[in-house]
Structures are given as C-alpha cells and as structure tokens.
Amino acid sequence: MENQQIIDALQKQFGEEAIYGIGESHGILQVTTSVDNIVPMLHFLYADPVMKFQFLTDLAGIHFPDAVGQELGVIYHVHSLENNVRLWIKAYAPIDRPNFPTITDLYASANWMEREAFDFYGIIFEGHPNLTRILNVDDMDYHPMRKEYPLEDASRHDKIDELFGR
C-alpha cells in the first residue's frame, strides 16, 4: 500500500479540506486534521478492509506556544501490521480549550497514553474512563512539559557554566 492510496482514501471519505498538512518523513505519511475529525478518521482507518490501521503505536502531546489558536496538539501514530505501513495523524487545539475526544473505545492502549498527555500537557480527553495523573503527583497544579517553564533551575549556583558551553 502506497502513501498516496491512504491520502486518496482519506480525502474521498472526509473531503479534501479535512486533510491538510500532508507530508512524509522517512517514508511515514503525516497528515493533519481537525479535532472533530480525529475519531471518525481513526475508526475509518481501523475498519477499512484494505488499510487495517488496527495498532496504536503511540499517542503524544505537543506544545507550540507561538502557534496562536493551535498551541496544544496530539499526534496519533497508527500502524497497519498487515500492510506494514505507519501513519501519523496530527490535530491541534487552542490552549484555553485543550479538549480532544478519547479514542480508548477503539484502542484500549490509548488509556495510559492519553493520561500521560493529560498529565504532562493538560490535554483533556473527553470521555476518558479515568483521566487522572499517571506519573506526576496528584496535587501538582501545572503541566511540566509545556514550554512555559525554564529548562533549568535559575536558583542553582552549583553549576560551572563553562562545562555547559556557556
């Protein structure tokens, strides 16, 4: 199965305007869609008798603070084991409404991955069966992977800057 076949099938099913940001990296097709399309698109890719994207390899949160209105995103990495083809689907949401629908009904493995994206980025997966922190302490009032925080602790004085190329 070629990447163009996947693009054609997605555009036929959802319309050309629903699939944008089409690219390829190391042979892996990458597409972008809206938050509203993500669940129907994944269901289509899963159930299609030819494509069979029935394995969720990864789900990752991302934060781009300079992309106004699309600061938070989720990247879904799906794999068709039968065809040995991988696909990345990206969707973005504004930071003040970081809501995505859960895909735990389709991929049970998404449970922990969505909890991790919630824990580290504050992405809310509506309909998730147990959207609680998974790695950080429960009383933490921020999401540490957002690019709102300095990479280093400015209060530390025990580092020698020359060792770090400064």
Q: How far apart are CA 128 and CA 31, in angstroms?
A: 24
More confident position, 154 or 81: 81
Angle at 39 between CA 38 and CA 40, to 5 degrees: 95
Q: pLDDT grade, residue 22 (50/70/90)?
A: very high
Pairing of strands 55-63, 72-80: antiparallel
Residue % of the chain over a pLDDT of 70? 92
Region 3-148: CATH code:
3.30.460.80
pLDDT of amino acid 132: 95
Q: Give the amino acid at 128.
A: H
Query: Is pLDDT above 80 for 50?
Result: yes
Q: How far apart are CA 45 and CA 86, in angstroms?
A: 11
- Structural domain spans, the chain: 3-148
What angle do the packed helices 3-14 and 35-47 form, to 10 degrees? Answer: 120
